[in-house]
Structure 1
Amino acid sequence: MTSRGFTTIENEWIILKDGTRLAARIWMPDGAREDPVPAVFEFLPYRKRDGTSLRDESTYPVFAAAGIAGVRVDIRGSGESDGVIDGEYSECELTNACELIAWIAAQPWSNGAVGMMGISWGGFNSLQVAALRPPALKAVISIASTVDRYNDDIHYKNGCHLSAQLSWAATMLGYQSRPPDPALVGERWKEMWLERLAGEPFFMEEWLAHQRRDGFWGHGSISEDFSSIEIPALVIAGWADGYRNTPLMAIEGLGGKAKALIGPWVHKYPHFAWPKPRTDFHGEAIAWWNKWLRGDDNGIDGLPQARAYILDAIRPAPRRDSDPGFWVAKDVWSPPQMQCFYVEQFGKLTEGMPIPHAPEHPVYLHSPLDTGTASGEYFTLKPDAEMAIDQRSDDAGSLIFDTMPLAGDYDYLGRPVLTLGLRSRAAGGNLCARLVDVHPDGTATRVAFGVVNLTHRDGNADPKPLIPGEKVSIRLVLDACGYRFRKGHRIRLSLSTAYWPMILPPPDDEGIEVDIAAIGLGLPMLGHHQRIDIKEPANPDPLPKYIEHAAAATKRQVVRDLSANRTEYHIHEDTGLTEHPETGLSTRQLREEVWSITPDNPLSMTGTSTWTCDMRRPGWFVRTVATARIACTRADWIISAVVTAFEDDVQIFEKVFAEKRIARDLM
């Protein structure tokens, strides 16, 4: 295809029906008014001018050169857009998105067909908007997203409280407290800045008000009604990310309307994600848009329903540039056949089914509360210690069951399922299960994991306390995986009652008795498939280069104070100071986060997350500092936050979200 010229419109004002002015950056193919083109729309709160500019500039120029307009719009209250944000995926946001799609379709340069695309927030709202069926929206590409906001986002997981909830609340305070660029909005910049500083919410207050899976989480969860989506959806994720379940759940729910692609990646677009191999996302996306927005008969609709990268006996490392493995395809996805394992009388994980009505074999499990420091982040942005590291340190605080060394290779694709019986010594508690690949030298790679708040054992909408001493049955579905266990390796099942700091502790920590005679582990067999090749991007370094004034830095540390019997987990992330070579805008973000716990006291847990965000040009400098905190009692979560803004090193604003106690709901 001949490459087409294009123009970048740095800022286009779109006026909504309520008078709100939203800011768009548009990549416009040449000649679009004479020969109208389709458009791809992305709608985010992450600041088109600086926050997502790097990744936007790696993709939308390529689309425009292929004759597809790109329209990247800041959600109200972010970037250069007017107003104040009102939450995640709110009715206002989704209504605005539908209005923006209609605006795009009505432009003289548009052929009337719009696609919607995004990663994370933009992947979420692409599916959510598709469920609202705006007439001009013809297809979506959703990356690193969810169909179930309660169980597969950064808030809760099977009733367990994710620490990422505090991290993300602080992140959003940092994003939303930054001003618009005066070069685009003019003298109004400070008025707009002060309005959003005064009005921005502390999202965690709302999230903690909904600790069960209620209508708040049902809103925006397309798993509530998959039939609401009638257009094609390409759903992409990476095994190294927390959002790995969505592609398979999407094709199971949407059927032939969806295609799934899962690679080895962290939470990034697959043409520049780590670990490698990458994919030619641009080529596939352009073919997808040309089919569904132009009607080209290019065969993209004939893609296999599921394509996945099978990780081949990978090793955890401080940094993983590339993961060994191979690509497979299934023309039609169906629930996989399970290979069953049980724990025999000597504690070995053995192929077969548990013996019916076997005598109970209770084993007491009470993990130190700092078990889990090898877990990494829930969603990962870099292939370093954000990813799960060697699991042996966490296994030391866990109940573990290993197979004998495998006699051959075992290949899996799908979601493992664990069943077991247990008795609790308290009315609640958490259980974490990890599927681990034990290499011949003892190295332990986490393949998949699952967690459950035991009061949510029968569902997330109506949790029920445990009766101490009463035996209950647990069925725990772990996160999806695509993995080859090599001959000579061992398959390990690791069980723990803690997984900190990823999972925050319950109020009671009395331990459980696991009936190991009733443990059943089902692993999803790969089954019939085709080996395929996935084209890699022609450009191995597709991100544009900005001017670096200060280098980026990252550090993660676990500090155990043996005298004080206290464990701390420290995170230091510095983006460095970089300048956009065309806009002259320099930005820097610094994240400092500390989690702390006494290994025998769940009520000792604390977390603090601080974001410092700088923006500067010669003669102009602004900074915001946003800090969020969490602690707990047996009855309450205790949260607070503060946002401070500086202009030329002089404090001009401070907003304190005073300490608030929110009752713990069976957690």
Structure 2
Amino acid sequence: MAAWTSLAAAMLGTTALPVMAGTPAAASYDERPAKLEQPTAYRDYERRSVDIPMRDGVKLHTVILVPKGAPMPKGGAAMLLTRTPYNAEEMTSQHASGRMAISLDGYDSAPEVVAEGGYIRVVQDVRGKYGSEGTYVMNRPFVGTSLNPTKVDHATDTYDTIEWLVHHVPESNGRVGILGISYDGFTALAALVNPHPALKVAVPMNPMVDGWRGDDWFHNGAFRQYNLSYIWEQVGTRDNSNKYEVTEADAYTHFMRYGSAGAAASAHGLDQIGFWQKLKAHPAWDSFWQEQAMDKILAKAPLTVPTLLVHSLWDQEDIYGAPAVWKALKPQDKAGNLFLTMGPWFHGQEIERADTLGAVRWDADTGKWWRAHVLAPFLAHYLYDKPMDVGTVTAFQSGTNRWQTLPGWPTAPATAKLFLHADETLGFDPSAKEGTVDYVSDPAKPVTYEPRPNKLVGYEENPWPTWLTDDQRPVSGRPDVLTFTGPVLDKPVTIAGTPIVHLTAATSGTDSDWVVKLIDVYPDEVPGDRAMGGYQLAVGMDIFRGRYRESLSVAKPITPGTPLEFTFDLPPANHVFRAGHRIMVQVQSSWFPLYDRNPQTFVPSIIDAKSADYVKATQKISVGGTNGSYIALPVVP
């Protein structure tokens, strides 16, 4: 030791000094304080982290941000609550700033609305996630269903949370609003089941509603295998610390390597995950899905809390949910509590800058306009009794790129038939010539949902958020994609509602997927926007798994070679096909790697299909005459 001390002293050019009495031992030597105190005097808010007890004793971690330094509204400030599985601490400290609006500048918050409105912001971790105690169950089913043997759910937890808040936040005026996006939109809807009397307003944005019909997990029976990574990370650990690891830069290569979604899941450890086992066990729309579909649950009782549903017209994750809740609840909404916004956004873009969506320009920041003219006055009306001029439906009309205030939705029934013709044209009159247009679907060479390389889901430097507005020209020339194109329009065609596919088709296989796209084809040249020349913008597109043609809850094989009708909805659209544009319809049988491949052989479980099950199939689309295929469009006269 003495030699080392002398050597160190020599290297430093100093005389070795003896160790003085009172110097900390090496094992306890640490320059950090025992507890770091964050200076807060410069903040324009006070931050409180509390653990709120629920009725069963489980404590849920909750962050409360109370504005300070500005006059408190008379009678106190209203509280805006979000319940999330995405880390309340992080969501309330997005950036290192002493300003509340900057700290909230991230997921779910619409920070300028929160800060300028003088709200107390409350964000809570749901059971089993991050700082909260208890167990985690994906979209925890409600008490009273066969899927939940306990006495707690998101509705009871929300009720207990609000009860605590109104008694323990003295700056509050006793009124609470709830808002959230995606999963947090689902928890906002859950708050409407037996709501607390202090809950005065709800804004579910892009909510998860029915995971089988058209939100995160399936679309009409086709499995969204891209969500394997989400399931692994979200359910596997309390803090999402274990990541779904891949060795391929291209998701196409990744999923083709394993063959089926089940094989990919097993190789990546998902067989340990309870929710994955439930997905595998319930590939059809059976009672498991129906009992937890939020539109069905909410339709059982009158809506008593004023609610603004927010839908993104190009929502790449939850495009089914908000319109489904609107459709289920509005007919019985005698009190006028239900409102709807439909914006030209991807999933959650309403709280971001939203003047573009991929290559498409909207001529203005549509998110900023909506927050200022709809969200802010809506919340202030019900939480502070301020006047409000918000229509029942606020809808962005793409094509003309303008906001509309409408008395209801849809504004037109889907009665105008757009027929597919034998020469691969389109028309609102059926062609006299009957026949089929054929293609061969090969699972070994599936049609991609966007050009390769395909990245897994992500929001940083990833095309995932905007893929629904991708140019469809890259697949238009494929021999396994049928492209039907209408004439150049001499006058606009306006649609406002849900297009309905009526596809009459036969397959040589015993199962098949059908993907149908309704497309706006831009003129070959667009003045002032050369990138849009000839662009093929999908106005609505979706997939249907053929085995559910007769019943969504029971899979049945398709009779080979027999023309059958497959009917399904495309997502709602509020669009004008302008004069000089053309309408296009594309039909294909795969949408990979977003959805798992249909083997085109009927097997009990496509998720666990074997390599021998995947076969080529000849697909014949019936056109012309009374049995020809068409899309029923909600054309506005």
Do both share a fold (TM > 0.5)? yes
- 8 Å CA contact 1:266–1:382 kept in 2: the answer is no
Deviation at 1:126? Answer: 0.9
Quick one: structure 1 residues 201 and 93, their matched pair in 2 at CA, closer, same or farther if it must change by over 3 Å?
farther
Quick one: structure 1 residues 403 and 29, their matched pair in 2 at CA, closer, same or farther if it must change by over 3 Å?
same
- Give the match for residue 231 of structure 1: 305
- Aligned: 1:25 with 2:63: yes
1:23-422 paired onto structure 2 within 5 Å = 23-30=61-68, 35-50=75-90, 53-54=93-94, 57-58=104-105, 59=110, 62-63=113-114, 66-91=117-142, 92-94=152-154, 95-107=156-168, 109=170, 110-173=172-235, 176-178=238-240, 201=273, 203-225=275-297, 226-228=299-301, 229-242=303-316, 243-255=318-330, 256-274=336-354, 275=356, 276-280=365-369, 282-283=371-372, 284-294=374-384, 296-300=385-389, 303-312=390-399, 325-334=401-410, 336-338=412-414, 339-352=416-429, 354=430, 360-369=434-443, 370-374=446-450, 381=459, 385-386=463-464, 387-388=466-467, 389-395=470-476, 396=478, 397-422=480-505
- Pick which of 18-27 and 201-210 moved more: 201-210
Which runs of no fewer than 5 residues in structure 1 stay unpaired?
181-196, 313-323, 528-667
- Aligned: 1:425 with 2:499: no
User: Take 1:7 and 1:282, find their aligned partners in 2: how far apart are those partners?
Assistant: 22
Whichever residue aligns with residue 266 of structure 1, its letter is F
User: Take 1:168 and 1:178, find their aligned partners in 2: how far apart are those partners?
Assistant: 9
Deviations 1:108-134 (A, max 9, x none): 524333221100011112112213333
- 8 Å CA contact 1:43–1:122 kept in 2: the answer is yes
Percent identical: 21
Quick one: structure 1 residues 178 and 493, their matched pair in 2 at CA, closer, same or farther if it must change by over 3 Å?
closer
Deviation at 1:56? Answer: 6.5
**What TM-score results when the alignment is normalised by the length of structure 2?**
0.70
- Give the match for residue 447 of structure 1: 539
- 8 Å CA contact 1:422–1:512 kept in 2: the answer is yes
Quick one: structure 1 residues 11 and 455, their matched pair in 2 at CA, closer, same or farther if it must change by over 3 Å?
same
Whichever residue aligns with residue 474 of structure 2, its letter is S
Shift >6 Å, 4+ stretches: 31-34, 375-380
- Give the match for residue 16 of structure 1: 54
User: Take 1:248 and 1:24, find their aligned partners in 2: how far apart are those partners?
Assistant: 31
Deviation at 1:526? Answer: 4.3
Deviation at 1:306? Answer: 1.8
Secondary structure of the structure 2 residue equivalent to 1:366 = strand
- 8 Å CA contact 1:143–1:269 kept in 2: the answer is no
1:516-665 paired onto structure 2 within 5 Å = 516-517=623-624, 518-526=628-636
Deviation at 1:381? Answer: 4.3
User: Take 1:115 and 1:440, find their aligned partners in 2: how far apart are those partners?
Assistant: 46
The structure with the greater share of residues assigned to strand is: 1
The structure with the greater share of residues assigned to helix is: 2
- 8 Å CA contact 1:41–1:117 kept in 2: the answer is yes
User: Take 2:461 and 2:633, find their aligned partners in 1: how far apart are those partners?
Assistant: 26
Secondary structure of the structure 1 residue equivalent to 2:193 = helix
User: Take 1:292 and 1:507, find their aligned partners in 2: how far apart are those partners?
Assistant: 52
Secondary structure of the structure 2 residue equivalent to 1:81 = coil
Quick one: structure 1 residues 139 and 149, their matched pair in 2 at CA, closer, same or farther if it must change by over 3 Å?
farther
Deviations 1:523-566 (A, max 9, x none): 22245xxxxxxxxxxxxxxxxxxxxxxxxxxxxxxxxxxxxxxx
1:496 to 581, 585, 588: 588
Secondary structure of the structure 1 residue equivalent to 2:165 = helix
User: Take 1:175 and 1:410, find their aligned partners in 2: how far apart are those partners?
Assistant: 50
Whichever residue aligns with residue 250 of structure 1, its letter is V
Deviation at 1:454? Answer: 0.6
**Higher Rg of the two aligned structures:** 2
Quick one: structure 1 residues 417 and 178, their matched pair in 2 at CA, closer, same or farther if it must change by over 3 Å?
closer
- 8 Å CA contact 1:89–1:125 kept in 2: the answer is no
User: Take 1:107 and 1:64, find their aligned partners in 2: how far apart are those partners?
Assistant: 21
- 8 Å CA contact 1:140–1:234 kept in 2: the answer is yes
Whichever residue aligns with residue 458 of structure 1, its letter is E
Secondary structure of the structure 2 residue equivalent to 1:102 = helix
Quick one: structure 1 residues 64 and 277, their matched pair in 2 at CA, closer, same or farther if it must change by over 3 Å?
closer
Deviation at 1:216? Answer: 2.4
User: Take 1:409 and 1:335, find their aligned partners in 2: how far apart are those partners?
Assistant: 17
Which runs of no fewer than 5 residues in structure 2 stay unpaired?
1-42, 95-101, 143-151, 243-268, 331-335, 357-364, 525-533, 601-614
- 8 Å CA contact 2:213–2:320 kept in 1: the answer is no
Deviation at 1:394? Answer: 2.0
**What TM-score results when the alignment is normalised by the length of structure 1?**
0.67
- Give the match for residue 645 of structure 1: none
- 8 Å CA contact 2:162–2:198 kept in 1: the answer is yes
Deviation at 1:159? Answer: 0.9
Quick one: structure 1 residues 111 and 117, their matched pair in 2 at CA, closer, same or farther if it must change by over 3 Å?
same
Deviation at 1:349? Answer: 0.3
Deviation at 1:170? Answer: 3.1
Secondary structure of the structure 1 residue equivalent to 2:510 = coil
Quick one: structure 1 residues 427 and 132, their matched pair in 2 at CA, closer, same or farther if it must change by over 3 Å?
farther
Whichever residue aligns with residue 422 of structure 1, its letter is A
Deviation at 1:178? Answer: 4.5
User: Take 2:576 and 2:300, find their aligned partners in 1: how far apart are those partners?
Assistant: 34
- 8 Å CA contact 1:429–1:511 kept in 2: the answer is no
Deviations 1:191-211 (A, max 9, x none): xxxxxx9x9945322222221
- 8 Å CA contact 2:91–2:104 kept in 1: the answer is no
- 8 Å CA contact 1:27–1:64 kept in 2: the answer is no
Deviation at 1:402? Answer: 0.6
Deviation at 1:147? Answer: 3.6
User: Take 1:380 and 1:405, find their aligned partners in 2: how far apart are those partners?
Assistant: 38
- 8 Å CA contact 2:392–2:406 kept in 1: the answer is yes
- 8 Å CA contact 1:41–1:116 kept in 2: the answer is yes
Quick one: structure 1 residues 33 and 443, their matched pair in 2 at CA, closer, same or farther if it must change by over 3 Å?
closer
Deviation at 1:153? Answer: 1.4
- Aligned: 1:434 with 2:532: no
- 8 Å CA contact 2:313–2:342 kept in 1: the answer is yes
- 8 Å CA contact 2:340–2:392 kept in 1: the answer is yes
Deviations 1:394-438 (A, max 9, x none): 222311111011112222222211212122222211000011222
User: Take 2:485 and 2:506, find their aligned partners in 1: how far apart are those partners?
Assistant: 23
**Alignment root-mean-square deviation, CA:** 3.2
Deviations 1:140-169 (A, max 9, x none): 101111443321311111111112331321
